[in-house]
């Protein structure tokens, strides 16, 4: 292995991602959300199960990553081109950081309970 490559049995993604400039993955919810949490640009090669394709498309539209659409016909050059684009175009990091900020400033369900209780009280018994 090259001198800049290190092997390990396991590293939690939360510990690893802050050291990364980008991540390439299949679109699984855990990896997707953890990358959003850390503001890391993503390259998603969806495995076409569940919602991986929809997440990849949406991320692509936000500008925070790239959706590689044809996993059965990808070449190493396709992946290299996408990674080079993400690493050299600061817009991807900018948009990933914007999503990170949005994620961290969105109210939690617990934060919304007082507002929901107030609205329920105000509108209880009101006919639509």
Q: Whole domain around residue 50: which residue ranges? A: 13-123
Residue 4 covered by a domain? no
Q: Is the distance from CB of 39 to CB of 21 less than 8 angstroms?
A: no
Residue 19 covered by a domain? yes
* pLDDT > 70: percent of the chain: 99
Residue 101 covered by a domain? yes
Residue 1 covered by a domain? no
**pTM > 0.75: yes or no:** yes
The predicted-structure confidence for 45-74, as pLDDT tens digits, reads as follows 988 778 899 999 999 999 999 999 888 899
CATH number at residue 113: 3.40.50.2000
Residue 128 covered by a domain? no
Cβ-count burial of 70 within 10 angstroms (0-12 exposed, 13-18 middle, 19+ buried)? exposed
pLDDT of 58? 95
Report the number of distinct structural domains present in the chain: 1
The predicted-structure confidence for 73-82, as pLDDT tens digits, reads as follows 999 999 999 9
**1, 5, 74, 96 from 41: Cα distances, Å:** 25, 21, 20, 5
């Amino acid at each position: 292995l090259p001198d800049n490559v290190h092997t390990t049995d396991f590293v939690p993604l939360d510990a690893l991602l802050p050291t990364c400039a980008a991540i390439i993955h299949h679109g699984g919810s855990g990896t997707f959300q953890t990358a959003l949490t850390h503001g890391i640009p993503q390259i998603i090669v969806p495995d076409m199960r569940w919602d991986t394709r929809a997440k990849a498309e949406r991320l692509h539209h936000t500008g925070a990553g790239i959706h590689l659409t044809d996993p059965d016909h990808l070449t190493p050059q396709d992946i290299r081109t996408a990674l080079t684009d993400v690493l050299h175009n600061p817009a991807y990091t900018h948009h990933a950081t914007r999503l990170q900020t949005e994620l961290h400033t969105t109210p939690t369900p617990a934060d919304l309970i007082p507002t929901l209780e107030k609205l329920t009280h105000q509108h209880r018994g009101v006919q639509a």
